[in-house]
Amino acid sequence: MRAVVTESYTTLNATARVHTYLATLATRLAHERLTATAKNQGDLVSAAPEVLFVCVHNAGRSQMAAALLAHRAQGTVTVRSAGSAPAETINPAVVTAMDEIGLDLTEEFPKPLTYESVEAADVVITMGCGDACPVFPGKRYLDWHLDDPAGQPLKTVRVIRDDIDTRVQQLLTELVGGKETTQ
């Protein structure tokens, strides 16, 4: 367990510009990794399907998709996001666009893609990360072709957000069927 915390800290430290909350973020990342490891080893069993959203920087598309699915699924799906080359921070226009619909991303941070998270996922959805995502047999992989919100004006980010939301709603219907979810 200590090795996972240390490795998480080292990984985040490599891209961090501000180190004020690095220990807290490393703890959160280590918790996610250890939870995924427990699932992978059969020590943690969940009936909820697990979805992993992956984009290059984990600063835009994957963060929006994870927040939207978590909000709409209301605990019926486990949701994670990661980046093949995580940015330092989440795109401010993405934070604003999500805040406009009542979803707060200010506590989120770009996370590195780990084998544990891919292995624990039932569905892996890539968004422009190319071949960086490891492939495990028995996983469902989807590639959502979406514009990158990086450097885009808020108006364009809203369009991307709404496109992601439509896809998330379709995915949620596939995963949990007709169960009641939030609109």
Of residues 121, 48, 137, the one with CA closest to residue 80: 121
Which pTM does this prediction carry? 0.79
Q: How far is residue 76's CA from residue 70's CA, in Å, rounded to a whole number?
A: 9
Mean pLDDT (whole number) for 60-68:
98
What domains are defined for the chain? 47-176 (3.40.50.2300)
Band (pLDDT 50/70/90 cuts) for residue 104 is: very high
Q: How far is residue 21's CA from residue 110's CA, in Å, rounded to a whole number?
A: 13
pLDDT at 142: 94
Residue 110 has pLDDT above 60, yes or no: yes
β-sheet with 123-127: strand ranges across: 78-83, 50-55, 123-127, 140-143
If one compares 4 and 78, the residue with the highest pLDDT of the two is: 78
Task: Dump pLDDT digits (tens) for 129-181.
Answer: 766 666 777 789 999 999 999 999 999 999 999 999 999 999 999 999 855 44
The structure tokens listed for 76 are 């019926």
Mean pLDDT (whole number) for 17-36:
73
